[in-house]
Structure 1
Amino acid sequence: MSLSQQRRFPRRHTSVGASRKFVTGVLTEWELHPLIEDIKLYVSELATNALLHGVPPGREFCVVLHGDEELVRLEVRDSGSGLPTVRHPDHDACSGRGLHLVSELADDFGVDHHVVGKTVWLAFKRPVAP
């Protein structure tokens, strides 16, 4: 079994909330309720980074969920030239924690570079069915 759904979002702040709604709907449809809260947090971080650092004006970013028997993979692709960097901010810093957070908590994490833009992705082990 291999599942995949994607949606494009405009370069607007409201797209962060819309991306959370999208992943919630997909994970509910796939009956992966235990992953919803974590993946909502992660897509918020990645979508915000795409808006702030990756999506040129007038362009969109894309959120993709892939699922198979073992993993669920969240991807956020944008067409910007910015290179994501995992930072280790000071304890009193007000920003810079997003990629550090997701890289520490996801089961796998990476960045795929494309001719135009990049995809930041996270993978999570599927919960074991009771």
Structure 2
Amino acid sequence: MPRPSPRERFYRRERTSVPAARAFASEALRDWGVRERSYDVVLCVSELATNALVHGVPPGRGFLLRLLPLPYGGGVRVEVHDSGGGVPAVPQVDAGEADEGGRGLLLVSELADKWGVGERDPGKVVWCEISFRPHAWPGASM
């Protein structure tokens, strides 16, 4: 069985987009037969989608969520494409702070094996990769 095909979906700048992106990611992972670290993938999708809506999507625009299986069944790459400016960074957070916002990239940086920001015109791509044991794709060969 070959490696699963990438999946992508465009979301508008609206409140329902983040839960819809989580559901889309959960469905893709289920279809691909991924169980290992699926919660981590869905949580990273949620955080990156939320950041795109709050910081990266100008009014009247949206964001593109792309899920890409890594080679040899070794994980998933999550990409969120938006047309906003700026370069996201992990905030320096004091453990005693009561504010619950602003920790999305901190969570992504802890859960993902790699993450980064790429350029696009206009805007940027914020991505992360979550690895798991090779051979996790059903029928994948090394």
Q: Do residues 113 (structure 1) and 115 (structure 2) align? A: no
Q: State the match for 1:100 in structure 2.
A: 106
Give the root-mean-square deviation of aligned CA atoms: 1.6
Q: State the match for 1:64 in structure 2.
A: 66
Q: State the match for 1:14 in structure 2.
A: 16
TM-score scaled by length of structure 1: 0.91
Identity fraction in percent: 45
1:32–1:127 Cα contact (<8 Å) kept: no
Q: State the match for 2:34 in structure 1.
A: 32
CA shift at 1:2, angstroms?
Answer: 5.7
2:83–2:121 Cα contact (<8 Å) kept: no
d(CA) in 2 for partners of 1:35, 1:19: 17
User: Which of 44, 48, 56 does residue 50 from structure 2 map onto?
Assistant: 48
d(CA) in 1 for partners of 2:23, 2:127: 18
Q: 5+ residue gaps in structure 2?
A: 137-142
Q: 5+ residue gaps in structure 1?
A: none
User: Which of 100, 125, 128 does residue 131 from structure 2 map onto?
Assistant: 125
Q: State the match for 1:87 in structure 2.
A: 91
TM-score scaled by length of structure 2: 0.84
CA shift at 1:109, angstroms?
Answer: 0.7
1:27–1:35 Cα contact (<8 Å) kept: no
User: Which of 70, 75, 79 does residue 79 from structure 2 map onto?
Assistant: 75
Partner of 2:109: helix, strand, or coil?
Answer: helix
CA shift at 1:127, angstroms?
Answer: 3.3
Q: Which amino acid in the other structure matches residue 75 of structure 1?
A: E
d(CA) in 2 for partners of 1:23, 1:100: 20
CA shift at 1:120, angstroms?
Answer: 0.6
Q: Which amino acid in the other structure matches residue 54 of structure 1?
A: G
The list of structure 1 runs, each at least 4 consecutive aligned residues, that deviate by more than 2 angstroms after superposition, is 126-130
Q: Which amino acid in the other structure matches residue 56 of structure 1?
A: P
1:84-118 deviations in whole A, cap 9, x for unaligned? 11112122232221101111221111110122111
